[in-house]
Chain A
Amino acid sequence: AAGVIQSPRHLIKEKRETATLKCYPIPRHDTVYWYQQGPGQDPQFLISFYEKMQSDKGSIPDRFSAQQFSDYHSELNMSSLELGDSALYFCASSLGLLAGSSYNEQFFGPGTRLTVL
């Protein structure tokens, strides 16, 4: 079965550079989530999109922005990179909230490992 695809899998950038991470959700999934996981840390929710609109926002720095496109893939844009941005970035997708149901299982991609030097 098709899974969530993230690209690139590894990315090395210098301080103050920009980076763009891409996420391709499972076919027919309409909701995408982004998470950041620092070394030895738990995943921290950044932002989510439902039907191409931002649906929820977490601890995403102002230097980061994201969007979901018409084909439901999403991109996380990170500018003025700092050393502390080095982390594993996960994307997850789901079918969103089913009408009248609270079920919302998310399927995670393999992650993009960003290293800022």
Chain B
Amino acid sequence: SQQGEEDPQALSIQEGENATMNCSYKTSINNLQWYRQNSGRGLVHLILIRSNEREKHSGRLRVTLDTSKKSSSLLITASRAADTASYFCATDGGGFKTIFGAGTRLFVKA
């Protein structure tokens, strides 16, 4: 991966539980984004958090950013079976590119 590690690599939970995914990165960033990808499909942008922000909410999503530790977390509350997908964090790479982490595969059991 061009990025740091994502933790965990795979996560299996029951519907209704919360899912937390973590991501670390290596370089200074302007912003960090989380994407969702269903198997073999395109990437869907979930949320963007700027480097001067510490927390952001969007619906059932909560993202935190700790620039001192170069890490971010994505919390999905009250998960649903439809949330089953791979989740990637990505940083801006300081230019016209996006550097993705390895992704967390989330499986929500109904």
Binding site for B on A (CB under 8 A): 31, 33, 35, 42-45, 48, 50, 55-56, 58-59, 88, 90, 92, 96-97, 102-111, 113
CA–CA, A88 to B50, complex, Å? 29
B96 touches A105 (CB 8 A): no
Question: In the complex, how many residues of chain B place their beta carbon closer than 8 angstroms to a beta carbon of chain A?
Answer: 28
Closest 3 CB pairs of A and B: A102-B30, A55-B96, A56-B96
Which listed segment binds A: B57-65, B67-75, B87-95?
A: B87-95
Residue of chain B at shortest CB distance from A45: B97
**Could you write out 8 A-B pairs with CB less than 8 Å apart?**
A33-B97, A42-B1, A55-B95, A56-B97, A96-B96, A102-B92, A104-B96, A108-B45
A90 touches B45 (CB 8 A): no
From known contacts A42-B88, A42-B102, A102-B30, infer whether A108 and B97 are also in contact, taking CB-CB under 8 Å. no
Residues of chain A contacted by B31 (CB below 8 angstroms) = 102-104
SS of B interface (majority): loop
From known contacts A50-B96, A56-B95, A102-B30, infer whether A43 and B88 are also in contact, taking CB-CB under 8 Å. yes
Residue of chain B at shortest CB distance from A49: B96
CA–CA, A48 to B97, complex, Å? 7
B101 touches A42 (CB 8 A): yes
A104 touches B92 (CB 8 A): yes
B48 touches A103 (CB 8 A): yes
CA–CA, A104 to B51, complex, Å? 13
B43 touches A90 (CB 8 A): yes
Residues of chain A contacted by B93 (CB below 8 angstroms) = 45, 56
Residue of chain B at shortest CB distance from A57: B97
Q: Is B11 an interface residue (CB 8 A)?
A: no
Residues of chain B contacted by A42 (CB below 8 angstroms) = 1-3, 88, 100-103
Query: A42, A56, A105 — which one has the most chain B CB atoms within 10 A of its CB?
Result: A42
CA–CA, A103 to B76, complex, Å? 24
CA–CA, A88 to B88, complex, Å? 16
A48 touches B48 (CB 8 A): no
CA–CA, A44 to B3, complex, Å? 10
CA–CA, A111 to B45, complex, Å? 15
